[in-house]
Amino acid sequence: MRQLFPSAILMALTAVTTIAFVPVILTPTLAVVEVAGSPTELTYPTGSGPSAPVAPSETVVVNGIRVHESLAGPLTALLADARADGIVLGGWGYRSSADQIRLRRAHCGSSEYAIWRMPSSQCRPPTARPGASMHERGLAVDFTCNGRPIAGTRCFRWLQANGARYGLYNLQSEPWHWSTNGR
Protein backbone atom coordinates (compact mmCIF):
# COMPACT_ATOMS: atom_id res chain seq x y z
CA MET A 1 0.00 0.00 0.00
CA ARG A 2 2.85 2.31 0.89
CA GLN A 3 4.28 1.86 -2.57
CA LEU A 4 0.97 1.89 -4.43
CA PHE A 5 -0.32 5.09 -2.92
CA PRO A 6 2.01 7.60 -4.62
CA SER A 7 1.60 5.96 -8.03
CA ALA A 8 -2.19 6.07 -7.65
CA ILE A 9 -1.90 9.83 -7.09
CA LEU A 10 0.41 10.15 -10.06
CA MET A 11 -2.06 8.30 -12.28
CA ALA A 12 -4.92 10.50 -11.10
CA LEU A 13 -2.87 13.62 -11.78
CA THR A 14 -1.91 12.35 -15.22
CA ALA A 15 -5.57 11.71 -16.03
CA VAL A 16 -6.58 15.21 -14.91
CA THR A 17 -3.75 16.81 -16.85
CA THR A 18 -4.59 14.84 -19.98
CA ILE A 19 -8.24 15.86 -19.81
CA ALA A 20 -7.34 19.49 -19.19
CA PHE A 21 -5.14 19.64 -22.27
CA VAL A 22 -7.32 17.74 -24.72
CA PRO A 23 -8.81 20.90 -26.32
CA VAL A 24 -5.30 22.25 -26.88
CA ILE A 25 -4.06 19.00 -28.38
CA LEU A 26 -7.06 18.82 -30.72
CA THR A 27 -6.54 22.35 -32.00
CA PRO A 28 -2.78 22.82 -32.33
CA THR A 29 -3.10 25.48 -35.03
CA LEU A 30 -0.50 28.18 -34.71
CA ALA A 31 -0.61 31.32 -36.77
CA VAL A 32 2.82 32.68 -37.47
CA VAL A 33 2.36 36.28 -38.39
CA GLU A 34 5.15 38.36 -39.83
CA VAL A 35 4.62 42.01 -39.16
CA ALA A 36 6.05 44.44 -41.67
CA GLY A 37 8.62 46.72 -40.08
CA SER A 38 8.74 44.71 -36.90
CA PRO A 39 12.04 43.22 -35.83
CA THR A 40 10.33 40.26 -34.19
CA GLU A 41 8.23 37.47 -35.58
CA LEU A 42 5.18 37.09 -33.40
CA THR A 43 3.63 33.71 -32.76
CA TYR A 44 0.27 33.51 -31.07
CA PRO A 45 -2.16 30.64 -30.94
CA THR A 46 -5.22 31.04 -33.11
CA GLY A 47 -8.33 29.04 -32.36
CA SER A 48 -6.80 27.53 -29.25
CA GLY A 49 -8.07 27.81 -25.71
CA PRO A 50 -11.14 26.23 -24.15
CA SER A 51 -14.12 25.25 -26.30
CA ALA A 52 -16.66 25.58 -23.48
CA PRO A 53 -17.27 27.83 -20.47
CA VAL A 54 -14.48 27.75 -17.88
CA ALA A 55 -14.31 28.16 -14.12
CA PRO A 56 -12.97 31.41 -12.64
CA SER A 57 -9.95 29.41 -11.41
CA GLU A 58 -8.78 29.07 -15.03
CA THR A 59 -8.70 32.83 -15.50
CA VAL A 60 -6.19 35.54 -14.68
CA VAL A 61 -6.37 39.33 -14.57
CA VAL A 62 -4.32 41.33 -17.08
CA ASN A 63 -4.35 45.08 -16.43
CA GLY A 64 -7.78 44.79 -14.86
CA ILE A 65 -9.18 42.55 -17.61
CA ARG A 66 -9.96 38.96 -16.56
CA VAL A 67 -9.34 36.38 -19.31
CA HIS A 68 -8.57 32.68 -19.70
CA GLU A 69 -4.96 31.93 -18.87
CA SER A 70 -4.26 30.99 -22.51
CA LEU A 71 -5.04 34.56 -23.60
CA ALA A 72 -3.03 36.28 -20.85
CA GLY A 73 0.26 36.43 -22.81
CA PRO A 74 -1.19 37.81 -26.05
CA LEU A 75 -3.39 40.32 -24.19
CA THR A 76 -0.47 41.53 -22.06
CA ALA A 77 1.55 42.15 -25.23
CA LEU A 78 -1.37 43.81 -27.01
CA LEU A 79 -2.03 46.25 -24.16
CA ALA A 80 1.66 47.12 -23.82
CA ASP A 81 2.15 47.63 -27.57
CA ALA A 82 -1.02 49.74 -27.77
CA ARG A 83 0.19 51.86 -24.86
CA ALA A 84 3.51 52.38 -26.65
CA ASP A 85 1.50 53.79 -29.58
CA GLY A 86 -0.42 56.11 -27.23
CA ILE A 87 -3.52 53.92 -27.24
CA VAL A 88 -5.03 53.31 -23.79
CA LEU A 89 -7.28 50.29 -23.84
CA GLY A 90 -9.38 49.01 -20.97
CA GLY A 91 -12.35 46.69 -20.82
CA TRP A 92 -14.02 43.56 -19.52
CA GLY A 93 -13.28 39.97 -20.39
CA TYR A 94 -14.38 36.80 -18.63
CA ARG A 95 -17.85 36.39 -17.28
CA SER A 96 -19.15 33.31 -15.50
CA SER A 97 -22.11 31.33 -16.79
CA ALA A 98 -24.14 32.75 -13.88
CA ASP A 99 -23.26 36.25 -15.10
CA GLN A 100 -24.31 35.27 -18.63
CA ILE A 101 -27.69 34.08 -17.35
CA ARG A 102 -28.12 37.39 -15.48
CA LEU A 103 -27.39 39.28 -18.71
CA ARG A 104 -29.88 37.16 -20.67
CA ARG A 105 -32.54 38.00 -18.07
CA ALA A 106 -31.76 41.69 -18.40
CA HIS A 107 -31.43 41.80 -22.20
CA CYS A 108 -33.75 39.07 -23.45
CA GLY A 109 -36.45 38.52 -20.81
CA SER A 110 -37.08 36.34 -17.80
CA SER A 111 -38.97 33.40 -19.35
CA GLU A 112 -37.24 30.04 -19.77
CA TYR A 113 -37.40 30.60 -23.54
CA ALA A 114 -35.88 34.07 -23.29
CA ILE A 115 -33.03 32.96 -21.07
CA TRP A 116 -32.04 29.70 -22.78
CA ARG A 117 -33.26 29.61 -26.38
CA MET A 118 -34.16 33.02 -27.82
CA PRO A 119 -31.75 33.94 -30.65
CA SER A 120 -29.08 36.41 -29.53
CA SER A 121 -30.20 38.88 -32.21
CA GLN A 122 -33.64 39.21 -30.60
CA CYS A 123 -32.14 40.49 -27.34
CA ARG A 124 -31.35 44.18 -26.72
CA PRO A 125 -28.43 44.41 -26.92
CA PRO A 126 -27.71 41.08 -28.63
CA THR A 127 -26.57 38.59 -25.95
CA ALA A 128 -25.30 35.05 -26.57
CA ARG A 129 -27.17 32.10 -25.09
CA PRO A 130 -25.78 30.81 -21.79
CA GLY A 131 -22.90 28.48 -22.64
CA ALA A 132 -22.35 30.06 -26.07
CA SER A 133 -20.55 33.29 -25.21
CA MET A 134 -16.82 33.62 -25.81
CA HIS A 135 -16.78 35.69 -22.60
CA GLU A 136 -17.69 32.51 -20.67
CA ARG A 137 -14.52 30.90 -22.07
CA GLY A 138 -12.46 33.94 -21.12
CA LEU A 139 -11.59 34.36 -24.79
CA ALA A 140 -13.41 37.63 -25.51
CA VAL A 141 -12.78 41.21 -24.41
CA ASP A 142 -15.14 44.18 -24.62
CA PHE A 143 -12.67 47.04 -25.07
CA THR A 144 -12.97 50.65 -24.02
CA CYS A 145 -10.84 53.56 -25.25
CA ASN A 146 -9.56 55.77 -22.43
CA GLY A 147 -12.50 54.48 -20.42
CA ARG A 148 -15.02 55.49 -23.09
CA PRO A 149 -16.90 53.64 -25.86
CA ILE A 150 -14.54 52.51 -28.57
CA ALA A 151 -16.66 52.82 -31.72
CA GLY A 152 -15.14 55.22 -34.23
CA THR A 153 -12.03 55.94 -32.13
CA ARG A 154 -8.29 55.76 -32.75
CA CYS A 155 -8.31 52.79 -30.39
CA PHE A 156 -10.71 50.93 -32.68
CA ARG A 157 -8.58 51.67 -35.74
CA TRP A 158 -5.47 50.49 -33.87
CA LEU A 159 -7.20 47.22 -32.99
CA GLN A 160 -8.39 46.80 -36.57
CA ALA A 161 -4.81 47.18 -37.78
CA ASN A 162 -3.15 45.10 -35.05
CA GLY A 163 -5.62 42.85 -33.22
CA ALA A 164 -4.97 39.80 -35.40
CA ARG A 165 -1.27 39.86 -34.43
CA TYR A 166 -2.42 38.97 -30.92
CA GLY A 167 -5.07 36.48 -32.02
CA LEU A 168 -8.01 38.85 -31.42
CA TYR A 169 -10.70 39.46 -34.03
CA ASN A 170 -13.67 41.83 -34.05
CA LEU A 171 -17.33 40.87 -34.17
CA GLN A 172 -18.43 43.28 -36.90
CA SER A 173 -21.77 44.15 -35.35
CA GLU A 174 -20.09 45.12 -32.04
CA PRO A 175 -17.01 47.38 -32.38
CA TRP A 176 -16.11 46.80 -28.70
CA HIS A 177 -16.20 42.96 -28.85
CA TRP A 178 -12.95 41.16 -29.77
CA SER A 179 -12.39 37.44 -29.39
CA THR A 180 -10.09 34.63 -30.50
CA ASN A 181 -12.54 33.60 -33.23
CA GLY A 182 -14.39 36.85 -33.99
CA ARG A 183 -17.61 35.56 -32.44
Binding residues vs Zn ion (CB under 5 A): 142, 177
Residue number of the CB atom closest to Zn ion: 177
Q: Name which of 110 and 173 has its Cβ closer to Zn ion.
A: 173
Nearest approach, Cβ of 35 to Zn ion (angstroms)? 26
Nearest-approach distance from CB 171 to Zn ion, in angstroms: 7
Least separation, in Å, of the C-beta of 77 and Zn ion?
Answer: 21
Given 3-state DSSP classes, what are the helix, strand and coil percentages for the chain, each rounded to the nearest 5? 45, 20, 35
CA 125 to centroid of chain Cα atoms:
19
User: What value, to the nearest 5°, has the Cα angle with vertex 156 and ends 153 and 160?
Assistant: 145
Q: Quick one: 2 or 124, whose CB is closer to Zn ion?
A: 124
How far CA 53 is from CA of 75, 103, 128, 131, 165, in Å, comes to: 19, 15, 12, 6, 24
Least separation in angstroms between CB 91 and Zn ion = 9
Minimum CB distance to Zn ion smaller for 42 or for 66: 66
Output 20 or 64, the one with its CB closest to Zn ion. 64
